[in-house]
């Protein structure tokens, strides 16, 4: 019997297999940030252990970093301590770090691919659940806890039991204005926030072939919101072209050898998935969430659902609670929901393509007076590239705030937060209660919907806008 893509990558990394024990899996790339690493480094120090492979480890500062006044000391003491601790740890253990102000600094999941470090067939881990992003390259990439971070630092391996595999077939052609974000929000709405538990999701099908790497990363990024350990997409010419020429891409003969290997990374025709789900791409519309988990989403043309319409009792209760927290009434058209803040950024939608898409919508327009618009590039490099393309001017003339790179309002660990009761349209990945600030209310949307919403002040798609001029 053939193997799935996930099984091929897994099997290629088994250091040791023994009856009744987890597999010992080799880790090709370990990404580190300031929030989940301090105790791991301290554990090494206590045990007198070194980092086994600093040359397979990379640290960036992202979760806590401010997006304004980055040349000044960080005001929040906890944030400053975590960042200073990471810097000290990296220096002591010989780990490469890209600090605030460095041209390669940015969200860990934007930086890895941008440097060409994320490649097909790798195992990639990070103490962050959105590590699944890197699966867009055909890597097996997943988030780990702090003890596991220490384990990987010390041994470059992890003891793990194999994951199950689930195929997500996205067949058909996307309508204009429908993007990767809409695909993944529709997938999560379909299988639920626990539907992927224990699985690696492999996204396949005709609708994916034409997607850029940025779009594929958006899809894999949110696999965790369906409960999955990882998400993957088989590499193809689009993948290879994206990597070619990046700073850490293989060169010369190494490139040829790598390419030969990468071309073997697909699910065999006779492989069997543990589960399969199919999504009709032709039917998809711009998707937005109305509730307080990423599975509570609907097409923008729909209305806030009536909790009583859910058959399942726990879904009914969850919907009731969500509507109360979100201060929404059943039956309200989603397009009538007014927001205070629009956030464009995060490891889900903070890459150059996302900023280009949003800029194309707002170019030559003015934002709604009632809305604050925050544009936060996913990395310092993305910010620079956007500035070279003049996107920063498009945004600032529109009335948006052009910020420095980081996780920012996605999780509100830095000063970029919603005030209690404020409502956002956000291109990030989680609409949990209080995620973007205590009492804040989040609607997850694509960059196109975020941009159009910032023009009209209510949840909107570009199709709802009057032509410019």
Partner 1 sequence: MEKFIRHTGVGVPLRRSNVDTDQIIPAVYLKRVTRTGFEDGLFAAWRGDETFVLNNPAFASGSVLVAGPDFGTGSSREHAVWALKDYGFKAVLSSRFADIFRGNSGKQGLLTGQLSQDDIELIWKALENAPGTEVTVDLDQRVVTCGEIVAPMQVDDYTRWRLMEGLDDIGLTLRHTDAIDDFEAGRPSHKPRTLV
Report the binding-site residues for [4Fe-4S] cluster: 347, 407, 410
**Between residues 58 and 200, which has the closer beta carbon with respect to partner 1?**
58
**Between residues 249 and 338, which has the closer beta carbon with respect to partner 1?**
249
Token code pair at residue 443: 């609607």
**Between residues 241 and 463, which has the closer beta carbon with respect to partner 1?**
241
Smallest gap from residue 172 Cβ to partner 1 (A): 35
Smallest gap from residue 161 Cβ to partner 1 (A): 14
**Between residues 15 and 302, which has the closer beta carbon with respect to partner 1?**
15
Is there a contact between 373 and 342 (Cβ–Cβ < 8 Å)? yes
Determine which helix (DSSP H) or strand (DSSP E) holds 385, and give its type and residue range. Answer: helix 380-388
Integer Cα distance of 126 and 130 in angstroms: 9
First to last CA, the chain: 60
Is there a contact between 27 and 156 (Cβ–Cβ < 8 Å)? yes
CB atoms < 10 A from the CB of 257, how many?
11
Summarize the annotated binding site as residue ranges: 347, 407, 410
Q: What residues form DSSP beta bridges with 374?
A: 343, 401
Is there a contact between 346 and 217 (Cβ–Cβ < 8 Å)? no
Integer Cα distance of 441 and 433 in angstroms: 7
**Between residues 88 and 366, which has the closer beta carbon with respect to partner 1?**
88
Residues lying near partner 1 in the complex (CB under 8 A): 15-16, 24, 26, 28-29, 38-39, 42-43, 46-47, 49, 52, 54-58, 78, 81-82, 85, 96, 116-117, 119, 122, 146-147, 150-151, 154-157, 159, 248-250, 254-255, 257-258, 261
CB atoms < 10 A from the CB of 291, how many?
25
Sign for the pseudo-dihedral over CA of 115, 121, 127, 133 = positive
Smallest gap from residue 454 Cβ to partner 1 (A): 34
**Between residues 121 and 177, which has the closer beta carbon with respect to partner 1?**
121
Q: What residues form DSSP beta bridges with 305?
A: none
Report in angstroms the alpha-carbon separations of 466 from 6, 361, 447.
46, 11, 18
């Amino acid at each position: 019997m053939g193997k799935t893509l996930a099984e091929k990558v897994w099997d290629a990394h088994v250091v040791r297999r023994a009856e009744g024990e987890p597999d010992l899996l080799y880790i090709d790339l370990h990404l580190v940030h300031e929030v989940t690493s301090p105790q791991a480094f301290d554990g090494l120090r206590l045990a007198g252990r070194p980092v086994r492979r600093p040359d397979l480890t990379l640290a960036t500062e992202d979760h806590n970093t401010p997006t304004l006044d980055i040349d000044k000391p960080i005001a929040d003491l906890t944030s400053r301590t975590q960042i200073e601790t990471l810097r000290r740890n990296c220096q002591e253990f010989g780990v490469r770090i890209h600090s605030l102000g460095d041209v390669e600094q940015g969200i860990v999941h934007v930086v890895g691919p941008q440097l060409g470090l994320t490649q097909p067939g790798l195992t990639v881990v990070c103490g962050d659940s959105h590590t699944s992003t890197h699966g867009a390259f055909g890597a097996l990439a997943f988030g780990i806890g702090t003890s596991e971070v220490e384990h990987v630092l010390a041994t470059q391996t992890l003891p793990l039991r194999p994951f199950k595999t689930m195929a997500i077939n996205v067949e058909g052609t996307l309508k204009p204005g429908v993007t990767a974000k809409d695909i993944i929000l529709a997938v999560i709405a379909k299988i639920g926030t626990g539907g992927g538990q224990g699985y690696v999701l492999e996204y396949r099908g005709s609708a994916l072939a034409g997607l850029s790497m940025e779009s594929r990363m958006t899809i894999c990024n949110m696999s965790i919101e369906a409960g999955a350990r990882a998400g993957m997409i088989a590499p193809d010419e689009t993948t290879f072209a994206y990597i070619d020429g990046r700073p850490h891409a293989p060169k010369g003969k190494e490139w040829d050898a790598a390419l030969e290997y990468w071309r073997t990374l697909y699910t065999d025709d006779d492989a069997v998935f543990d589960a399969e789900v199919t999504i009709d791409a032709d039917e998809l519309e711009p998707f937005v969430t109305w509730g307080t988990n990423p599975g509570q989403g609907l097409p923008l043309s729909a209305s806030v659902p009536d909790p009583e319409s859910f058959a399942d009792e726990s879904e009914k209760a969850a919907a009731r609670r969500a509507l109360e927290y979100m201060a929404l009434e059943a039956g309200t058209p989603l397009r009538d929901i007014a927001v205070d803040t629009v956030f464009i950024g995060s490891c889900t939608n903070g890459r150059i393509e996302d900023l280009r898409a949003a800029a194309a919508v707002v170019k030559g327009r003015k934002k709604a007076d009632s809305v604050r618009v925050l544009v936060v590039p996913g990395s310092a490099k993305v910010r620079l590239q956007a500035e070279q393309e003049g996107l920063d001017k498009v945004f600032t003339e529109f009335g948006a705030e052009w910020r420095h790179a980081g996780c920012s309002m996605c999780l509100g660990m830095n000063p970029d937060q919603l005030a209690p009761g404020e409502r956002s349209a956000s291109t990030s990945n989680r609409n949990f209660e209080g995620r973007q600030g205590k009492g804040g209310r989040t609607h997850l949307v694509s960059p196109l919907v975020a941009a159009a919403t910032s023009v009209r002040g209510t949840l909107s798609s570009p199709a709802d806008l009057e032509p410019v001029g």
